[in-house]
Amino acid sequence: MNVAAKDIAKGQNILEIDGISLSFGGVKAIRDVSFDVKKGEIRAIIGPNGAGKTSMLNVINGFYHPQEGTINYKGAKRHDMRPYVAATQGIARTFQNVALFAGMSTLDNIMSGRMLKMKVSLPWHFIRFGPAEREELEHRERVEHIIDFLEIQAIRRTPVGRLPYGLQKRVELGRALAMEPELLLLDEPMAGMNLEEKEDMSRYILDVNDQFGTTIALIEHDMGVVMDLSDRVLVLDYGEKIADGTPDEIKNNQNVIDAYLGVAH
């Protein structure tokens, strides 16, 4: 982060959100929010429960379709898109309530992240010899690097449904990394973790950002973690943007303090 100032300031935007509004029936989840994410930064989105943080991530990776506003990703304007398309464009994601494939092993879960990179067509898979196997082994090697990086070698063959929560979160991060994303969305990566696990996870997030130059947008409730990790912080409350800036600016922002501590109306 210190390396950081990292020229991010003058870097170009990988994502620009402009005037997004999203509602379900009569309930407004997001009201006219605009912000941007610069290439290579760690961008935190914080806010009290029900502030519209997860909805915002869902909009970015195409799971929700906003009624108003535009999204500019890597220079291309879009209104909405299918999640599949978002994945092909390099947006990966982890979820608040771990969305792993419970019946598959750790290895298979992370291998499934390579899905879009695997090109060999169906007929080759019938016989497996040749291209299909070569491709499989090539990607296996990539995945083993991720497994080494996240230090989960021992649980390679374990069905993820049987793993403890902390490890599941790590596997999920592994699956997202296997997609080699340009933009990585992390939804409460440290929820339900103890201090040690949180420190590990923070380390991984920073390493991902440093080693692979991946842009990261994360939602997190632990303020300490947010302030330490992120380059810039967006604060949402009741679906509206109430502050946006560096961690230091946010700490001293009166709106944020009011939103978190409550203010007498």
Partner 1 sequence: MSDTTLKSDGGSSMSQTQRNWLITVLILAAAVAGSFVAGSDSLLYKVFVGPFVEMYEVPDLFVQVLWEGLVAGTLYALVALGFVLIFKASGVFNFAQGIMVVFGGLSLVGFYAAGVPAFLSLALSVAMMYGLAWTVERVVLRPLVNQDPLILFMATIGLTYFLIGFGEFIFGGEPKTMITQEIGLPSGSYDFDWFGGFVSFQKLDIAAAVIAAIMVGCLAVFFNKTRIGRALRAVADDHQAALSVGITLRQIWVIVWFAAGIVALTTGIMWGARSDVSFALQVIALKALPVIILGGLTSIPGAIVGGLIIGVAEKTAEFYWGPLVGGSIESWIPYFIALGFLWFRPQGLFGEKIIDRI
Partner 2 sequence: MFYREAGQFKTNYRTDQAVFPIFQDKIGVLVILAFLFLVVPFWFNDFWLNSIMIPTLIFSLAAIGLNLLLGYAGQISLGTGGFMGVGAYSCYKLTTIFPDINILVHILLSGFFAAIVGILFGIPSLRIKGFYLAIATLASQFFLEWSFGRIGWLYNYNPSGAIEVSTKRMFGIAITGPHATSLTRYLIVLSIVVVLTWVASNLVRGRIGRAWMAVRDMDIAAELIGIRLLQAKLTAFAISSYFAGVAGALMVFMWLGAAEVESFDINHSFLILFMVVIGGTGSLIGSFMGAAFIWVLPIFLRAAPRVLGVDISAATVEHFNFMIVGGLIIFFLIVEPNGIARLWQIGKEKLRRWPFPY
Q: Is 80 in the site for partner 2 (CB under 8 A)?
A: no
Site for partner 1 in 159-178 (CB under 8 A): none
| Enclosing H/E stretch for 207 | helix 195-212
C-beta neighbour count of 13 within 10 angstroms: 17
Site for partner 2 in 133-172 (CB under 8 A): 133, 135-137, 140-141, 144
Q: Which amino acid is at 106?
A: T
Q: Which residues pair with 218 in a beta bridge?
A: 44, 186
| DSSP annotation of 147 | H
Question: Rounded to an integer, what distance in angstroms lies between the CA atom of residue 37 and that of residue 218?
Answer: 11
Residues 6+ apart with CB under 8 A from 40: 6, 8, 11, 209, 213, 215
Q: Is 180 in the site for partner 2 (CB under 8 A)?
A: no
**Residue 43's Cα: distance from chain center in Å?**
10
Considering only residues 1, 21, 28, 63, which one is a binding residue for partner 2 as defined by CB under 8 A? 63
Q: In this chain, which stretch among 33-41, 79-87, 195-203, 257-265 interacts with partner 2, using CB under 8 A?
A: 79-87
> Taking the complex as a whole, how short is the minimal distance between the CB of residue 201 and partner 1, in angstroms?
19
- In this complex, which beta carbon is closest to partner 2, that of residue 129 or of residue 261? 129
Site for partner 2 in 88-117 (CB under 8 A): 88, 92-93, 95, 99-104, 108, 111-113, 115-116
Structure token digits, residue 58: 């869902």
Size of the site for partner 2 (CB under 8 A): 40
Question: Rounded to an integer, what distance in angstroms lies between the CA atom of residue 65 and that of residue 130?
Answer: 42
Interface with partner 2 (CB under 8 A): 61, 63, 82-84, 86-88, 92-93, 95, 99-104, 108, 111-113, 115-116, 118, 120, 122, 125-128, 132-133, 135-137, 140-141, 144, 175, 179
Interface with partner 1 (CB under 8 A): 22-25, 27, 29-30, 49-55, 58, 63-65, 67, 80, 95-96, 99, 239
